Amino acid sequence: MTDFDWVPEGVDTTIPSVARAYDYMLGGAHNLAVDRAMATEAARLLPSTPRLVRMNRAYLRRVVTHLVESGIDQFLDIGSGIPTVGNVHEVAPDAKVVYVDKDPVAVAHSELLLFGNENATVVQGDLRDPDGLLSHPQVLRLLDFDRPVAVLMLMVLHFVPDADEPWQLVARYRDHLAPGSYLAVSHVTDDRQSAAWRGVARTAAQSRDSLNNRSHPEVLEFFEGFELEEPGLVGCGLWRPQGRGDISDNAEENTLIYAGLGRKPASGSR
């Protein structure tokens, strides 16, 4: 038993989780003292950290809205996190949505949030197991891979170390997708060589997930086999901003997270 009725059995409440720390930064309630300490340390090192995560959520809203307008009605959101507000099924209420996260608290909370929702579900799973996820009964119940699907990997690939071959993993998902499918990625970078940001990245090591900054060419490589939509792979604040909150006045804040959207062309292999 844990002291918190929303924490599933078996979760070690003495180790911070990036999912719960992220929930704290977004103003959610599913976090523990260890998570808040990690998030507070990140914000001490770089005070704009909470704004960065909100800018990423704003990118999620814009990219999902754009995908719906492009005719997409199926989403696979991998590393979906602990949903507070602005989740895919809220932005795209008529679409079929499958959320995937490896964090048990994220999954338990999503199950509650999605209770009774016929169009959306959550699966506990790991991005590093594409074959298991793509054949999971809950995934196949809602998603038809003979038609275009949008795969979202927002702020998650940087938790997959190079040793686990994240580029090859993304290619496995790509090869499973029908032409006309999409891949959306947001990913942290140290291209600005910001000492404060490096400190933030180091705080993640307190959890079981270390954070791997990647360069622009390295993040671009995730889109191998996709055609990048305009404006390409850019700082997430610069990806089709529509108003205040999407973009920061501070150039560095706009470029600590890369964001992009790629479309699998008709000639793409399956």
Ligand X SMILES: C[S@@+](CC[C@H](N)C(=O)[O-])C[C@H]1O[C@@H](n2cnc3c(N)ncnc32)[C@H](O)[C@@H]1O
Q: State the residues that interact with ligand X by CB under 6 A.
A: 18-19, 22, 56-57, 60, 78-81, 100-103, 106, 126-128, 154-156, 159-160, 209
Of residues 209 and 253, the one with the C-beta less far from ligand X: 209
Looking at the Cβ atoms of 67 and 154, the one nearer to ligand X is 154
CB of 172 to ligand X, least distance (A): 14
**DSSP secondary structure letter of residue 27:** T
**Shortest reach from residue 186's CB to ligand X, in Å:** 6
Q: Are 46 and 25 in contact (CB under 8 A)?
A: no
Residue with Cβ nearer ligand X (58 or 68) = 58
Taking CA 165 as the corner, what is the angle to CA 227 and CA 11, rounded to the nearest 5 degrees?
Answer: 110
Q: What are phi and psi of 167, to 5 degrees?
A: -70, -40
- CB 242, min distance to ligand X, A: 18
Residue 240 vs 268, nearer CB to ligand X: 240
Answer for the pair 258, 223: CB distance below 8 angstroms, yes or no. Answer: no
Task: Return the closest-CA partner of residue 99 out of 85, 117, 120, 119.
Answer: 120
At a CB cut-off of 8 Å and minimum separation 6, what does 209 contact?
18, 159
Non-local (6+) Cβ contacts of 86 within 8 A are 57, 60, 61
Q: How far is the CB of 267 from ligand X (least distance, A)?
A: 30
By CB atoms closer than 10 A (0-12, 13-18, 19+), residue 193 is exposed
Quote the least distance from Cβ 223 to ligand X, whole Å. 17
Q: Which residue has the tokens 């793509």?
A: 134
Euclidean distance between the first and final Cα of the chain, in Å? 46
Q: In this complex, which beta carbon is closest to ligand X, that of residue 171 or of residue 268? A: 171
Q: How far is the CB of 157 from ligand X (least distance, A)?
A: 9
Cα–Cα separations (whole angstroms), residue 97 to 43, 74, 167, 268: 32, 6, 24, 23
Q: How far is the CB of 57 from ligand X (least distance, A)?
A: 5
